Amino acid sequence: MINKNTISAFVLCGGKSSRMGTEKGFVNYKGNSFIEWSIKAIEPFTSNIKLVTGNKDYEQFPYPLLKDDIEEKGPAGAIFTALKTNTSDWNLFLSCDMPGILPWIIEYLITNADPQASVSFLNEAGRDYPLAGLYHQKCLPVFSEAIKKGNLRLMKILEKVDFKRVEMPASQKRFLNNVNTKEELEHLINTQHEDSL
């Protein structure tokens, strides 16, 4: 099991949010913004939390902002920036477009992660969630090379490292829904069970 004391956490606050039509992290779901769901999910496990964004509106939260070292590189660029600037062995990455995610899911990921693998991330019914994952610092050279070559597809990058899929029961899929559009948010609101922070 991975030692929680060796973990730093990064919330990826999203890019242009063009499909949502507004800054995704501030969209409300059940009384809390997307970013608040992400923060509350990881706070029990580390105090070393950073928000990966260049948007100063996120300064309202008590965590440092980390601007992408190289802009317009998507999640791969955000992970590269975090690994480059951090010194922790393990780095927890969580995107802010998974409203409803709860601390027990992060606990499940940490408990079932493979400490010998470079990356462990959640998977549910064959669907990968690489932005709900633990990345070891040794991944930095792989991400650096990918950024240089413009190979930005995250799962393609992860094919170059040893990784573990942490399987989630299909019954828990509702906690892992990615929400990128207003229509997806409306569907989530209409179908989700009542969960709270």
Please tell me whether 158 is known to bind a ligand.
Answer: no
Task: Tokens for 20, please give them.
Answer: 């949502």
Where on the phi/psi map is residue 119: left (φ > 0), alpha (ψ -120 to 50), or beta? beta
**Whole-number Å distance between alpha carbons of 45 and 126:** 27
State the sign of the Cα–Cα–Cα–Cα dihedral 164, 131, 112, 118. Answer: positive
Please, are residues 81 and 97 in contact by the beta-carbon 8 Å criterion?
Answer: no
What does the buried/exposed string (b/e) look like for 143-175 if buried means 16 or more CB atoms within 10 Å of the residue's CB?
Answer: beebbeeeebebeebbeebebbbbebeeeeeeb
Pair 119, 79: CB distance under 8 Å = no
Question: 14: annotated binding-site residue?
Answer: yes
Q: Determine if residue 162 is labeled as part of a ligand binding site.
A: no
13 labeled part of a ligand binding site = yes
Residue 97 in marked binding region: yes
Binding-site sequence positions: 12-14, 24, 68, 97
Binding-site sequence positions for Mg(2+): 97
Binding-site sequence positions for GTP: 12-14, 24, 68, 97
